[in-house]
Amino acid sequence: MSYVFVCCAIAIMSAFTPLSSSKPANRARELDAYARRLGVAVPVDTAEGLIGQLIRRERALLTGGGTGIAIAVITALLLPGGFNAGYVPVLIFAGLGVGSAIGAALASAVSAFTRLAGPRVARSSIPGYADYVPPLERWSGRVLPALALLAVLAAWIAFSVGALGDARLSSAYIWGSAGAWLAYASVAGLVVSEVLSRRILDRGQPSASATDLAWNDGLRSRALRDLHAVPIVLGFVSVLSTFFDIGFQADYAGGVATAAAVAVGIPATLMAGGITLLILDLTSRPQQHYWRRLWADRATGTPA
């Protein structure tokens, strides 16, 4: 049954790369579809360059997602229960999410160190971070790493006071668990994303026209959101991993029912909440957030 989830994950990963997977003759249509999602027209003179940038990002997504799935499969084979254990589907999609987020962020990080030169279109105000990243994503990127650390700390406190028993647990195990390392990685990812985001915001935006500047804003927004997605995904997977791990490893006084509530009930509630927030984010069209903040006057096409 787990092979079905691997195939589903690969199908989802492939859906991320329409430009890379389509024939060159079809890429203009895919670029036009991408432009509609951003809410801006395609500049004829720089269309090929835009396609190249988007393909590089898609290939990074594909490579990162594939690597994440492969690591998840190998991990599942090494863990007790093997490839048919009940947690394998979650592990596979977690690998897909983390790998894709890191791949996209690495592709976007390259732009932070790329020098840009050329004429610039004047704008009335200097855009900030809030102009490119929607509020829900901004707050999630800061809250989830903190929650990940708090989940590990709560597990350690519960163990210290004897609430988890000590049959298969120790303080070293809790602080060195997969959930703990993912929590550390989410905090590190947040710090790195903030540093790289500042570099991107401090760069100039050479543009020969208002349309080029709008595209520059759209690609900048995408790069910043890619970077910010890393601590979000790592933090969320860390919280799930901590409850899964502690739930299955602890020796509860309440027996199987208590273990099931911690290892299954709480992660299921968190996943439902995460999916709800994801749907809310997607329905708000976050890729057009920059347009609503900076390009409100569509009729004249001038920056706000």
Tens of pLDDT, residue by residue, the chain (304 residues): 556 667 677 767 766 666 665 667 677 777 887 788 777 777 777 777 778 888 888 888 888 888 888 888 888 777 766 666 666 777 788 888 888 888 888 887 776 666 655 556 666 678 888 999 999 999 999 999 999 999 999 888 877 777 666 556 677 888 888 889 999 999 999 999 999 888 888 877 777 777 778 888 888 888 899 999 999 999 998 988 888 777 666 555 555 555 566 666 777 788 888 888 888 888 888 888 888 888 876 544 444 4
| DSSP structural state of residue 83 | G
pLDDT score, position 300: 44
pLDDT score, position 271: 81
Whether residues 106 and 184 fall in one domain: no
pLDDT score, position 183: 93
Task: Among 86, 114, 142, identify where a domain stops.
Answer: 114
Count up the domains in the chain and report the number: 2
Task: Among 114, 136, 167, identify where a domain stops.
Answer: 114
Q: Amino acid identity of 217?
A: D
Q: How many distinct helices (H) and strands (E) make up the chain?
A: 12, 0
Indicate whether 146 belongs to any domain.
yes
Indicate whether 57 belongs to any domain.
yes
pLDDT score, position 121: 63
Indicate whether 120 belongs to any domain.
no
**207/61 Cα distance (integer angstroms):** 27
Q: Please state whether the predicted TM-score (pTM) of the whole model is above 0.95.
A: no
pLDDT score, position 297: 63
Contact 183, 235 (CB under 8 A): yes
Indicate whether 152 belongs to any domain.
yes
Whether residues 42 and 150 fall in one domain: no
Could you tell me the CA-to-CA distances from 158 to 144, 164, 181, 241 in Å, in that order?
Answer: 21, 6, 19, 16
Q: What's the domain range around 17?
A: 1-114
Contact 183, 96 (CB under 8 A): no
Indicate whether 121 belongs to any domain.
no
Positive or negative: CA dihedral 278, 151, 76, 249: negative
pLDDT score, position 144: 93
Whether residues 155 and 283 fall in one domain: yes
Whether residues 203 and 279 fall in one domain: yes
Structure tokens given for 152: 């590990």
Whether residues 195 and 51 fall in one domain: no
Whether residues 51 and 196 fall in one domain: no
Task: Among 62, 90, 114, identify where a domain stops.
Answer: 114
Whether residues 67 and 94 fall in one domain: yes
**69/102 Cα distance (integer angstroms):** 13
Whether residues 89 and 143 fall in one domain: no
Q: Which helix (H) or strand (E) holds 279?
A: helix 266-283
Residue 163's nearest CA partner among 235, 261, 80 is 261
pLDDT score, position 153: 92
pLDDT score, position 75: 82
Structure tokens given for 231: 């601590």
Whether residues 58 and 165 fall in one domain: no
pLDDT score, position 302: 46
Whether residues 135 and 106 fall in one domain: no
In degrees and rounded to multiples of 5, residue 119 shows phi and psi of: -65, 155
Indicate whether 119 belongs to any domain.
no
Indicate whether 211 belongs to any domain.
yes
**46/215 Cα distance (integer angstroms):** 10
Whether residues 186 and 299 fall in one domain: yes
Whether residues 249 and 283 fall in one domain: yes
